[in-house]
Amino acid sequence: MMRQMSRRGKFITFEGLDGTGKSTQMRRLAAALRKSGHEVVETREPGGTATGEKIRKVLLDSETSALAPLAEMALMFASRAQHIAEVIEPALAAGSIVLCDRFTDSTEAYQGGGRKLGSPPVRELHRVLCGDLQPDLTILLEANPHVSVSRARKRNRRASRAGARGHDESRFEQETRAFFMRVRESYMAIAKREPGRVVIVDARGTPGQTHERIVEVVRKKLRI
């Protein structure tokens, strides 16, 4: 039993508002960890599996209209339950380091905070549908919300010009400033509630500066 537990991998999640640099930083950390010989699995939510990517399209496409907040939350968890079963748990059991771009904290921040569904239903669904799986470490990227949201808008415009006609990932981007402030508040409340798991990382500098901070946190917290 003890031996099996010591061989389990590590689960690291990246959180923060759109455009704070989660995807950029996850790629960089993955490269650094692989360079030092670790087996790394990079994945994302919503998505991460074939079914999850279909759900992602429904959730993020701006053509999805009038999605009820509870339906939105349920779809996030449907994607996540599949992701845990198909990707995350097997990879952790095999001893890999799993890096995940967004996880349940995003649901608590966006649907709980942003959509005002509250934290308790999110945490309850996480317990029921996700076996209460907790990351070993969560990197919460913190930047000026106006700057990061406008970065994300620019990136999304570039991506939808390059991508398939009519498909985009900008549904959340149409939300109001007040929505993003609630999301941010919820993230801060999570960090305060779970300081052992969630580390706030200053993401206002260059990608390289943020990367160095993250490497330091990972080294200290997980000894890798």
Ligand X SMILES: Nc1ncnc2c1ncn2[C@@H]1O[C@H](COP(=O)(O)OP(=O)(O)O)[C@@H](O)[C@H]1O
Residue 43 interface partner, choices Mg ion, ligand X, none, CB cut-off 5-8 Å depending on type: none
Backbone angles phi, psi at 21, to 5 degrees: 105, 20
**56 forms part of the interface with ligand X (CB under 6 A):** no
**21 forms part of the interface with ligand X (CB under 6 A):** yes
Tokens 């999110």 locate to: 122
Give CA–CA dist 142/148, Å, rounded.
9
DSSP strands (E only) in the chain: 10-15, 40-44, 97-101, 137-142, 198-202
9, 11, 13, 22: which one contacts ligand X (CB under 6 A)? Answer: 22
Q: Name the one range near Mg ion by CB under 5 A: 6-14, 23-31, 114-122, 203-211.
A: 23-31
Give CA–CA dist 221/196, Å, rounded.
9
89 or 170: CB nearest ligand X: 170
The strand pair at 198-202 and 137-142 is best described as parallel
The strand pair at 97-101 and 137-142 is best described as unpaired
13, 20, 82, 106: which one contacts ligand X (CB under 6 A)? Answer: 20
The binding track of 161-200 with respect to ligand X, each residue x by CB under 6 A or -, is ----------------------------------------
Residues that bind Mg ion (rule: CB under 5 A) add up to a total of 2
**134 forms part of the interface with Mg ion (CB under 5 A):** no
HEC readout, 26-65: HHHHHHHHHHCCCCEEEEECCCCCHHHHHHHHHHHCCCCC
Backbone angles phi, psi at 201, to 5 degrees: -115, 130
23, 62, 144, 150: which one contacts Mg ion (CB under 5 A)? Answer: 23
**24 forms part of the interface with Mg ion (CB under 5 A):** no
Residue 21 interface partner, choices ligand X, Mg ion, none, CB cut-off 5-8 Å depending on type: ligand X
Which residue in 144, 143, 142 sits closest to 200, CA to CA?
Answer: 142
The binding track of 142-161 with respect to ligand X, each residue x by CB under 6 A or -, is ---------xx--x------
Question: What is the binding site for Mg ion (CB under 5 A)?
Answer: 22-23
Question: What is the binding site for ligand X (CB under 6 A)?
Answer: 16, 18-24, 151-152, 155, 206-207, 210
